[in-house]
């Protein structure tokens, strides 16, 4: 298998191989935010910004989407609830798991425009850029999965391009396995789930713009328009357009983006709403670089941290198209039903050269040319009902639902190993000497992954301070594949699972109204598509997580604090057969355990702060180190804060900054521990216009995001400035 096939196969083995698609729409209806009734009878959420009267505060934004978890317009880094842990929005303090919410305000303050920027500053998450505009993501030593407004997709995050963050209200991250709603999750991916939650139309007219200019030569423009589309406000719309063009920290890399997003919400009657959204994005990248591996002696090649080791003709192109249809009805007894249909199409294509395994001390390495085309089509359907039940003097809540999902993937690729000058290797410091050759597609395959199941979740109040949270899923899974190049073969079933029961259980104890303690257990069971060298099937892989923690809300809910201890065990994971390079064995086992701490919110009305720390200890058994990529730091700390001056001649000035620090990691070559510091100053000219200037990596620390291994490496960004101007009307 050629190198690119290996990389894509790795992504599939991390997700497609084991993790089925499971579609479970997670509801986002009002419950804790202040609600107001519009003339059409819709439910609106009044933002926190509307409670403050000052020229330095944005105009009040009334959100008529369906979520008490909405963060847009709050002006805060704190979130009161999340939808990633079930089919209804739940207060964070009542969720028996580690959940972080990246609010719209923090995304704006930190100038986050891509998912890799956002997850880089989420507690315990590693965001590892891959050079071609994609990245891969880990938490608790394992890979992450993804949901789009609660709809889970297989292979939807790792090495995949995502939509510009301008179309999202928030990013929710659930750390640890979440198999009840998402299905038979991949046990090599119990790191957690990322939920990207879209912006919804507002019930008042609002327009905002964002202009960014960076010192690498980048420019980005965003326009966001929303409001009612008829007199009674029963029809509301939203449109977001983004365009960007710019160079990167590595010399010669140029990334472009165009994204358009539209959404409509219509109240059929006061209790029934239909919502439709669609988005389209293209992302061409030229001159991208995967970097070089380490030398034969296990050292890095001396070079500047902006060196591009790939030819300038390298090119990749990605297009995304997505649509989502949701119908929700609210019954008079506070029960709710909803049905969702989801579709996403993605095209990845590229032609490029990259250096082979290792590099000589004098800077020579073998090169290969690669050409590929991959398409993904995801379809999902989910229907569920949820609501309260009065029993034994207590109010309990239940959710019951069913879902179906389907992923179709087609891959075509070609590969050519290149001979350098005089039949030898090429100089990595002169990559444009690497020729671009005509490569036909010589390998191709179709993969079809199908999953369906029924699920239930209950929050049972055993007594006033004690809640039992139970979840269960009966899931069915099937994956089949077909070769299309060099010849067309018949479809063969890679793995099949008929009726597997997946349970979870937790206890939440309210110590005092502002502090709760929890303990939880989650089990993961997954079929495996890898085979032995003789083609025999492997037994299912298994895993489980144990977690306990404390969650507190302080200062009337303005400040949230969480602390958690966790242990994740995995067994029978498919690993490479040491005696047969074409096969696998079910021998992998690992224990990842550690501690997490997070504080986020507003200690003072003008002060926002986020800080997160993670300690991770890994213990590998039975050759499991073969699938550990060595990028998991033992210590990981993240911080971002801003303070708005509201008195005297400095009224309107905002100062802020943050840091990211981690301990050493080793991926062939060791990357020592490092800390990156950022600083920001901003000024609000009036209630409609503000600007900020951000200095990233202010001490110009040279480091690797991903140190050299056998193949590839990735430098961290050098010092740079970003000027951002925003308007709101």
pLDDT tens-digit profile of 116-156?
999 999 999 999 988 888 899 999 988 888 888 887 787 78
Mean pLDDT computed over 82-101: 86
Q: Is the model's pLDDT at 451 over the cut of 90?
A: no
Does the pLDDT at position 629 exceed 60? yes
Which helix (H) or strand (E) segment holds residue 106: the answer is helix 104-109
What local confidence, expressed as pLDDT, does residue 67 receive? 45
pLDDT of residue 495: 81
pLDDT score for 324: 95
Strands, E assignment, 392-442: 394-418, 426-427
- Which range in 409-413, 470-474, 646-650 is most confidently predicted, on average pLDDT? 409-413
Q: Which of 590, 583, 546, 588 is nearest to 564 (CA)?
A: 546
Residue 488: count other Cβ atoms within 10 Å of its Cβ.
10
**Is residue 23 predicted with pLDDT exceeding 90?**
no
CA–CA distance, 125 with 109 (Å, rounded to integer): 19
CA angle 652/653/659 to nearest 5° reads 140
User: Which position has the higher pLDDT, 543 or 215?
Assistant: 215
Question: What average pLDDT does this structure show over 143-171?
Answer: 89
Task: Indicate the average pLDDT of the chain.
Answer: 85
* DSSP three-state, residue 624: helix
**In the prediction, which pLDDT does 60 show?**
41
- Between the two ends of the chain, the Cα-to-Cα distance in Å is 55
Express each pLDDT in 686-706 by its tens digit: 999 999 999 999 999 999 999
Supply the pLDDT for residue 48: 35
Rounded Cα–Cα distance for residues 457 and 467 (Å) = 13
User: What is the token pair recorded at 347?
Assistant: 């095209």
* Helix (H) and strand (E) counts in the chain: 4, 40
As a whole number of angstroms, the distance between CA 154 and CA 544 comes to: 20
Question: Of the spans 37-46, 118-127, 172-181, 457-466, which averages the highest pLDDT?
Answer: 118-127
Task: State yes or no: pLDDT of 188 exceeds 80.
Answer: no
pLDDT at residue 53, as a whole number: 35
Sequence-ordered list of residues with C-beta below 8 angstroms from that of 432, at least 6 positions apart, any chain: 311, 312, 313
Tokens coding 536: 């025999």
Give pLDDT, residue 531: 67
Q: Are strands 192-198 and 142-148 parallel, antiparallel or unpaired?
A: parallel
Q: How far apart are CA 42 and CA 238, in angstroms?
A: 17
Q: How far apart (Å, rounded) are the C-alpha atoms in residues 213 and 661?
A: 26
DSSP secondary structure string, 504-554?
EEEEEEEEETTEEEEEEEEEEEE----B-TTSPBPPPEEEEEEEEEEEEEE
Looking at per-residue pLDDT, the higher value among 535 and 90 belongs to: 90
Instruction: Give the C-alpha separation, 315 to 288, whole Å.
Output: 7
Give all domains of the chain, ordered by start, each with its CATH number: 3-33+76-488+496-728 (2.40.170.20)
CA 93, CA 99: separation in Å to the nearest integer? Answer: 10
40-49, 134-143, 429-438, 439-448: range with lowest mean pLDDT: 40-49
Instruction: Compute the distance between CA of residue 226 and CA of residue 277 in angstroms, rounded to an integer.
Output: 13
Share of the chain above pLDDT 90, in %: 61
* Phi, psi dihedrals of residue 188, rounded to the nearest 5°: -80, 0
- Distance (Å, rounded) from C-alpha 286 to C-alpha 352? 9
Mean pLDDT computed over 215-228 = 96
What pLDDT digit, counting tens, does each position of 573-621 carry? Answer: 767 676 766 677 777 778 899 999 999 999 999 999 999 999 999 887 7
ω into residue 486 within 30 of 0, thus cis?
Answer: yes
Tell me the pLDDT band of 51, cut-offs 50, 70 and 90.
Answer: very low
Q: Compute the half-sphere exposure of residue 439: CA atoms within 13 Å on the CB side of its CA.
A: 23
**pLDDT tens profile 300-349:** 998 899 999 999 999 999 999 999 999 999 999 999 998 889 999 999 99
Do 634 and 615 touch, CB atoms closer than 8 A? yes
Closest CA to 167 of 38, 249, 299, 261: 261
**Which pLDDT band holds residue 33 (cuts at 50, 70, 90)?**
very low
Tokens of 325: 């249809």
Instruction: Map tokens 């301008």 to a residue.
Output: 166
Coarse DSSP helix, strand, coil percentages of the chain, rounded to the nearest 5 percent: 5, 55, 35
**Residue 50 above 60 pLDDT?**
no
Q: How far apart are CA 545 and CA 570, in angstroms?
A: 9
pLDDT at 594: 96
Distance in angstroms (rounded) separating the CA atoms of residues 263 and 392: 43
Tell me the per-residue pLDDT of 559-575, one tens digit each, with 9 for 90 and over. 999 999 999 988 877 67
Q: How far apart are CA 318 and CA 160, in angstroms?
A: 9
How far is residue 40's CA from residue 232's CA, in Å, rounded to a whole number?
Answer: 6
Rounded distance between C-alpha atoms, residue 172 and residue 419, angstroms: 48
pLDDT score at 9: 42
**Burial code of 312-341, b = ≥16 C-beta within 10 A, e = fewer?**
bbbbbbbbbebebebbbbbeeeeebbbebb
Any idea what DSSP says for residue 582? T
Q: What is the predicted pLDDT for the residue at 39?
A: 33
pLDDT confidence bin for 55, thresholds 50/70/90: very low
pLDDT tier at 422 (50, 70, 90 boundaries)?
Answer: low
pLDDT tens string 342-377? 999 999 999 999 998 889 988 999 999 999 999 999
Average pLDDT (67-89) is 82
Beta strand 315-330 with 272-286 is antiparallel
> Do residues 287 and 254 touch, judged by C-beta distance below 8 A?
yes
Strand runs labelled E in 270-366: 272-286, 315-330, 336-355, 364-365
In this structure, the strands spanning 192-198 and 206-214 are unpaired
Work out the pLDDT band at 672, boundaries 50, 70, 90. Answer: very high
Question: Could you tell me the pLDDT band of residue 164, with boundaries at 50, 70 and 90?
Answer: very high
Structural contact between residues 444 and 484, judged by C-beta atoms closer than 8 angstroms: yes
Q: What φ, ψ does residue 522 adopt, rounded to 5°?
A: -135, 140
Helix (H/G/I), strand (E/B), else coil: 120: helix
The pLDDT > 70 percentage for the chain reads: 84
What is the Cα Rg of the chain in Å?
25
Is the pLDDT higher at 83 or at 201?
Answer: 201
């Amino acid at each position: 298998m050629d190198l690119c096939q290996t990389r894509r196969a790795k992504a599939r083995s991390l997700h497609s191989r084991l993790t089925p698609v499971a579609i479970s729409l997670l509801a986002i209806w009002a419950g804790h935010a202040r609600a107001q009734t519009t003339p059409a009878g819709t439910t609106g959420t009044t933002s926190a910004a509307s409670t403050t009267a000052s020229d330095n505060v944005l105009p009040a934004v009334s959100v008529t989407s369906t979520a008490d978890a909405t963060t847009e317009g709050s002006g805060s880094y704190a979130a009161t609830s999340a939808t990633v842990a079930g089919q209804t929005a739940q207060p964070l303090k009542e969720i028996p798991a580690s959940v972080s919410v990246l609010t719209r305000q923090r995304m704006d303050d930190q100038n986050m425009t891509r998912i890799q920027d956002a997850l880089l500053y989420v507690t315990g998450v590693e965001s590892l850029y891959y050079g071609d505009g994609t990245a891969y993501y880990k938490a608790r030593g394992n890979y992450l999965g993804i949901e789009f407004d609660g709809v889970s997709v297989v292979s939807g995050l790792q090495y995949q391009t995502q939509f510009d963050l301008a179309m999202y209200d928030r990013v929710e991250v659930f750390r640890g396995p979440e198999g009840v709603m998402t299905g038979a999750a991949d046990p090599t991916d119990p790191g957690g789930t990322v939920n990207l939650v879209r912006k919804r139309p507002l019930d008042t007219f609002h327009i905002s713009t964002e202009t960014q200019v960076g010192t690498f030569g980048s420019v980005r423009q965003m326009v966001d328009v929303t409001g009612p589309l008829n007199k009674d406000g029963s029809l509301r719309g939203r449109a977001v357009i983004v365009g960007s063009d710019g160079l990167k920290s590595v010399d010669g890399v140029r990334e472009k983006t165009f994204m358009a997003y539209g959404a409509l919400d219509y109240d059929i009657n006061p209790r029934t709403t239909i919502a439709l959204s669609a988005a389209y994005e293209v992302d061409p990248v030229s001159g991208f670089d995967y970097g070089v591996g380490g030398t034969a002696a296990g050292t890095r090649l001396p070079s500047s941290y902006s060196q591009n080791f790939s030819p300038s003709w390298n090119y990749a192109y990605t297009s995304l198209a997505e649509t989502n249809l949701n119908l929700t009805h609210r019954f008079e007894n506070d029960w709710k039903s909803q049905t969702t249909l989801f579709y996403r199409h993605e095209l990845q294509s590229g032609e490029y050269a990259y250096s082979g395994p290792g590099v000589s001390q004098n800077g020579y390495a073998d090169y290969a040319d690669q050409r590929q085309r991959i398409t993904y089509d995801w379809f999902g359907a989910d229907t569920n009902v949820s609501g309260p039940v009065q029993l034994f003097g207590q109010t309990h809540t239940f959710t019951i639902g069913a879902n179906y999902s389907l992923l179709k993937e087609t891959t075509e690729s070609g590969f050519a190993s290149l001979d350098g000058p005089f039949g030898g290797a090429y100089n990595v410091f002169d990559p444009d000497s690497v020729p671009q050759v005509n490569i036909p597609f010589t390998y191709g395959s179709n993969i079809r992954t199908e999953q369906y199941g029924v699920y239930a979740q209950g929050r049972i109040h055993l007594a006033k301070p004690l809640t039992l949270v139970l979840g269960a899923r009966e899931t069915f899974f099937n994956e089949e594949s077909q070769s299309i190049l060099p010849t067309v073969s018949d479809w063969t079933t890679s793995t099949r699972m008929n009726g597997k029961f997946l349970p979870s259980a937790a206890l939440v104890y309210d110590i005092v109204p502002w502090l709760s303690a929890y303990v939880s257990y989650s089990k993961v069971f997954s079929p495996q598509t890898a085979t032995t060298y003789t083609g025999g099937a492997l037994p299912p892989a298994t895993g489980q997580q144990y977690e306990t923690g404390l969650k507190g809300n302080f200062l009337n809910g303005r400040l949230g604090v969480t602390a958690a201890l966790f242990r994740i065990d995995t067994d029978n994971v498919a690993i490479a057969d040491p005696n047969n390079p074409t096969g696998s064995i079910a021998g992998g086992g690992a224990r990842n355990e550690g501690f997490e701490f997070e504080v986020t919110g507003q200690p003072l009305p003008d002060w926002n702060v986020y800080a997160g720390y993670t300690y991770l200890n890994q213990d590998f058994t039975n050759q499991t180190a073969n699938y550990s990529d060595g990028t998991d730091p033992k210590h990981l700390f993240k911080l971002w804060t801003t303070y708005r001056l509201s008195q005297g001649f400095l009224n309107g000035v905002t100062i802020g900054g943050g840091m990211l620090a981690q301990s050493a990691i080793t991926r062939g070559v060791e990357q020592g521990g490092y800390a990156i510091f950022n600083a920001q100053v901003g000024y609000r000219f009036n209630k409609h216009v503000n600007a900020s200037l951000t200095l990233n990596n202010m001490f110009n620390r040279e480091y690797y995001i991903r140190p050299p291994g056998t193949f590839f490496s990735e430098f961290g960004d050098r010092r740079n400035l970003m000027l951002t101007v925003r308007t709101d009307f």
